[in-house]
Structure 1
Amino acid sequence: MVRLADTIGRRNGGSVYAEPVEDVTFSFEFFPPKTPKMEETLWSSIKTLEALNPSFVSVTYGAGGTTRERTHKTVKRILDETPLKPAAHLTCVGASKDEVNEVVRDYYDAGVRHLVALRGDAPEGAGGYRPHPGGYANAAELVAGIRDIADFDISVAAYPERHPESGTLAADLDNLKRKIDAGATRAITQFFFEPDTYFRFLDHCHSYGIEVPIVPGILPVTNYGTLKSFAAACGASVPKWMGDLFEGLDDHPQTRMLVAASVASEMCRQLYAGGVRDFHFYTLNRAELTYAICRMLGYRAPAKQEA
């Protein structure tokens, strides 16, 4: 088992600010904008993070497919107007298999080759998840359906601290294994705040024969109150020390940003020391904090070539 104490290292004579690294890759998650102002913020963020040469950028999909058109529009624009490789989120909720398959084919025809296959959450007020009568019952079925249509790169979700609807960690790992066996090519974790949480989960995955890349999902914290709501919804724990760090900073946004960058970059360095080379960031459509963390990790964007 990988122990955190064994993984934390110091490079180049003990300095945490080491020589630039060239062996890391990043991916970034965005959500489709609701307003012209939010769209402006999104595209400013995309252009900023484009310089980090991400392996892909993903675009989320609202509960019950509520952002289907906006997701598709955002993915198409990324494909048409940037050199980035977009990955479209897709869920099982509120649609028949035929409807979902049509979306999959539309993405393939548009040139998208990467999907993030998720069961999805029920719309607010629905009283919990229920499969559509003629739809895919879960993410494993969705992965298999996508794989039958075309040769997509397929990412799925993983939960280092167990999905809140899973009775046990074993049941959660069984579900992840079914998704991988159905044809998923990688798993991206829900966010977490202790590196040892990720390394323990990695050991559990290996014990279940799950050998695809398990990419850690990193959520830079900008608002502690919002974070607690996010965490409660997805089964992630928030350590007390983090609450202590952000206590009393509600009216100090710049200080919060500095603390958030330090916390996330330190965790990323510890993950790097433990062998992690791929990082997925939940950007919340804000670029500067994520960009700063990647810089503090040691990544330097390639210099622009002269025309």
Structure 2
Amino acid sequence: MNQFRFSRRPDIGDKIRVSFEFFPPKTDEMESRLWETVKRLEPLQPKFVSVTYGAGGSTRERTARTVKRILTESSLTPAAHMTCVNATREEVDTVIHEFAGMGVTRFVALRGDPVEGVGAAYRPYPDGYANGAELVGALKQVGNFDISVSAYPEKHPESPDFATDIDMLKRKVDNGATRAITQFFFDNDLYERYVERARRAGIYIPIVPGILPIHNFAQVASFSARCGTLVPSWLAERFDGLDGDPQTHALVASAVAAEQVLDLVERGVGDFHFYTMNRADLAFAVCHMIGIRAQLPLVGSAAA
């Protein structure tokens, strides 16, 4: 696919549902910016918002604090991330019960990246859950939660082939996953082919596209190379020469993301998960362009 193609329909916003992903802040300043982002996006009434969880519980307390604040100080429904990395089953189960005790009913269950980072070899922790499928099963043992899991339109970098990748997704579904959220991608044809593979394998849960508005093209291109995500040449050309022009970069980024979403809508997709990077500007702009309007009075200004 050279680039996205779509025809704008005036009622299209009524058919789209969105969710947003945040990560727990490391400093008071970052927490303030995150909360500005939360309050800016809240009027869009997302289906849920997820809060990431660092490898081996490295952000456990910050994640719990962020989830609790969203529960008590906003109208949003939080989904807490859980991972298997660097933790025993008992430790993971304890965290699950802590979140459940707060009133959390939605989770995002992930195997997680190795502590050394993307590209390092993954080794199951002694007496820990080995993968996302086992983690989904553990969550279902505690409660009838809404559980999102990961999916990879270009297959997980560690999977030898798509058959292995799809088999793991099937195991997650069999253990009780509610939906899959994909790794970000920029070629919608790859997503469509992945969904077809999943359906042929008997997987019928929603496979929600993960959309990454590009705040910094150089950083996204570098990360994409490490995790096996294709960056089409036409996309690189869109951002060529904009490294020192943040305003134009932001305009292009919001247009590209909106085009991608609307092209997927034309293909029958109705749910989208935005990786916000704790910034509201691009996510809010994209939602506006695809027809999603604030349903509550806006509070404050857009987060930087």
Per the TM superposition, whether the score is higher than 0.5 is yes
Separation in 2, partners of 1:76, 1:303: 22
Report what 2:99 is aligned to. 107
Separation in 1, partners of 2:200, 2:95: 35
* Secondary structure in structure 2 of the residue aligned to 1:291: helix
Q: TM-score, normalised by structure 2?
A: 0.93
Shift of 1:140: 0.4
Aligned 1:113-192 pairs, distance under 5 A: 113-124=105-116, 127-192=120-185
Find out whether 1:251 has 2:244 as its counterpart: yes
* Secondary structure in structure 2 of the residue aligned to 1:106: helix
Report what 1:56 is aligned to. 48
Find out whether 1:82 has 2:90 as its counterpart: no
Does structure 2 retain, via aligned residues, the 8 Å contact 1:75–1:88?
Answer: yes
User: Which of residues 74, 77, 89 in structure 2 aligns to 1:97?
Assistant: 89
* Secondary structure in structure 2 of the residue aligned to 1:51: helix
Separation in 2, partners of 1:267, 1:100: 36
Shift of 1:8: 5.2
Could you give the per-residue CA deviations for residues 240-264 of structure 1, whole angstroms, max 9, x where no partner exists? 1111111211110001001101111
Could you give the per-residue CA deviations for residues 168-211 of structure 1, whole angstroms, max 9, x where no partner exists? 01110011111111110000000011221211111111011110
Does structure 1 retain, via aligned residues, the 8 Å contact 2:55–2:112?
Answer: yes
Cα 1:259–1:9 change in 2 (3 A) is closer
Report what 2:24 is aligned to. 32
Does structure 1 retain, via aligned residues, the 8 Å contact 2:153–2:185?
Answer: yes
Does structure 2 retain, via aligned residues, the 8 Å contact 1:20–1:300?
Answer: no
Shift of 1:23: 2.1
Separation in 1, partners of 2:120, 2:279: 32
Separation in 1, partners of 2:32, 2:42: 15
Report what 2:284 is aligned to. 291
* Secondary structure in structure 1 of the residue aligned to 2:153: coil
Separation in 1, partners of 2:27, 2:21: 18
Does structure 2 retain, via aligned residues, the 8 Å contact 1:8–1:274?
Answer: no
Does structure 1 retain, via aligned residues, the 8 Å contact 2:195–2:207?
Answer: yes
**Runs of 4+ deviating beyond 4 Å:** none
Report what 1:15 is aligned to. none
Shift of 1:11: 4.5
Does structure 2 retain, via aligned residues, the 8 Å contact 1:163–1:172?
Answer: yes
Find out whether 1:203 has 2:196 as its counterpart: yes
* Secondary structure in structure 2 of the residue aligned to 1:267: helix
Find out whether 1:10 has 2:2 as its counterpart: no
Aligned 1:65-76 pairs, distance under 5 A: 65-76=57-68
Find out whether 1:264 has 2:257 as its counterpart: yes
Separation in 2, partners of 1:85, 1:302: 16
* Secondary structure in structure 1 of the residue aligned to 2:13: coil
Shift of 1:233: 3.0
Q: TM-score, normalised by structure 1?
A: 0.92
* Secondary structure in structure 2 of the residue aligned to 1:157: strand
Count of residues paired in the alignment: 296
Report what 1:242 is aligned to. 235
Could you give the per-residue CA deviations for residues 86-126 of structure 1, whole angstroms, max 9, x where no partner exists? 00100001111111001101111110000100001111279
Q: Which consecutive unaligned segments of at least 5 residues does structure 1 have? A: 13-17
Report what 2:301 is aligned to. none
User: Which amino acid in structure 1 is aligned with residue 7 of structure 2?
Assistant: R
Greater mean deviation of Cα atoms: 120-129 or 48-57? 120-129
* Secondary structure in structure 1 of the residue aligned to 2:34: helix
Shift of 1:132: 1.1
Shift of 1:288: 1.2
Name the % identity. 55
Separation in 1, partners of 2:243, 2:198: 38
Shift of 1:128: 2.0
